[in-house]
Copies of this chain bind each other. A is one copy, B any other.
Amino acid sequence: MEVQHRLRLLSRIIGMKGPIICRAIVTVTQRSGQSYTVGRHLPPTWRGGASAGWCRSFSDVSARTCTALVYRKHGDPPEVVQSENMELPLMGEKSVLVKMLAAPINPSDINMVQGTYAILPDLPAVGGNEGVGQVLEVGSQVTSLKPGDWVIPRDAGLGTWRTTAVFNEVSLAEVPRDIPLLAAATLGVNPCTAYRMLSDFEALKPGDSVIQNAANSGVGQAVIQIAAARGIHTINVVRDRPGVQQLSDRLLAMGASHVIKEETLRQPEMKDFFKKCPRPKLALNAVGGKSATELLRHLQGGGTMVTYGGMAKQPVTVPVSSLIFKDVKVRGFWVTQWKRDHAHDERALSEMLAQLAALIREGKLTAPACSEVGLQDFRGALDRAMQPYMSAKQILVM
């Protein structure tokens, strides 16, 4: 049994190490909701810190706690997510104690709670995959971070909706402290997704164009701004909705070259449109279904469509002739996989973060419209994050 195994492991660690007597409290909670708390005095030979996350090496022997938004089963987020007090694991040599500052509620976080996402953490789990925190304390073997640094998660599944956390050094990346808090909190997923999709699939030069649907999404807005900074035209497709003119104006002010309603994309007038604007080499699809097929139809011969979302819950349908005679390439992108594939390529991630931070400093890349919400008001924030046509991203502030 998982609990007994962990307890055996803990006993072995405690038996082997450490002169400091501390109270090791391990709260292991199973899917059933049962909770096991184990208290034990460590023997005097223990020197602490080898087993990341399980034991603490600092002198404050009382267990530290945090508040976290936890879900113990999958379901409707406002119902299954609850605020809980949790004891933090003890610090290890490679541990980093982080005070979370701000963490967004992204669509993928919602899908994870609902249990419909491609990767799901073991339950119970702390919600949230993105956010920024400040380092409070580091383990003895931590070399890349120091107290005061700002950090973001390197991978999905860390659980960022909490006040404090103990993470392993390798799961964190430093971000500069001179960018706005909300920009840092929303840097790790959407701008990184936009940056990679604009960089890794087609060699785009100034004057080339890119077409995207869901142009008002977090990724969509980052695509508009990063492309504009590189001199690349964006053709931004939005669904018709109340206030579509204001939305269009906002995207144009942000650097969008063109904003087009989805219905217009099917009209013959698009032929005239492409007399003035080069056909896109790259299409970015977060919708699927008919919307994706329309993007494909306007793509330049030899161009690539990259799918990073499927809001319409319909597959991507590709005419055989587009593949054979137009040589269109149909690909997918998942920033989490990219980060995993580049886990040992420190430079790839840090270079991207540095370039994005530079754009932020220059005012060329701003965080999407955000609503800051105190952690305690999470239920309303979850509710709002699930509304259609929500233009403001909900950000939990700790």
- Chain copies in complex: 2
Kindly state whether residue A378 has any CB partner on chain B within 8 Å.
no
Pair A330/B327 contact, Cβ less than 8 Å: no
- Tell me how far the C-beta of A73 lies from the nearest C-beta in chain B, rounded to whole angstroms: 23
Q: Of A308, A314, A316, which is in contact with the most chain B CB atoms at under 10 Å from its CB?
A: A316
Kindly state whether residue A329 has any CB partner on chain B within 8 Å.
yes
Kindly state whether residue A307 has any CB partner on chain B within 8 Å.
yes
Question: How does the 8 Å CB contact mask read for A287-322 relative to B, with 1 for contact and 0 for none?
Answer: 010000000000000000001111000111111111
Pair B334/A331 contact, Cβ less than 8 Å: no
Pair B330/A329 contact, Cβ less than 8 Å: yes
Kindly state whether residue A337 has any CB partner on chain B within 8 Å.
yes
Pair B316/A310 contact, Cβ less than 8 Å: no
Pair A318/B337 contact, Cβ less than 8 Å: no
The distance in angstroms between the C-alpha atoms of A308 and B321, with both chains bound, is 9
Which residues of A (334-388) have their CB < 8 Å from a CB of B? 334, 337
Given the known inter-chain contacts A317-B315, A318-B315, please indicate yes or no for A327 contacting B337, CB distance below 8 A: yes
- Tell me how far the C-beta of A189 lies from the nearest C-beta in chain B, rounded to whole angstroms: 13
Closest to A333 in B: B324
Closest to A330 in B: B330
Residues of A within 8 A of B (CB): 118-119, 288, 307-310, 314-334, 337
Which A-B residue pairs are the 5 nearest by beta carbons? A323-B332, A310-B320, A330-B330, A118-B325, A324-B332
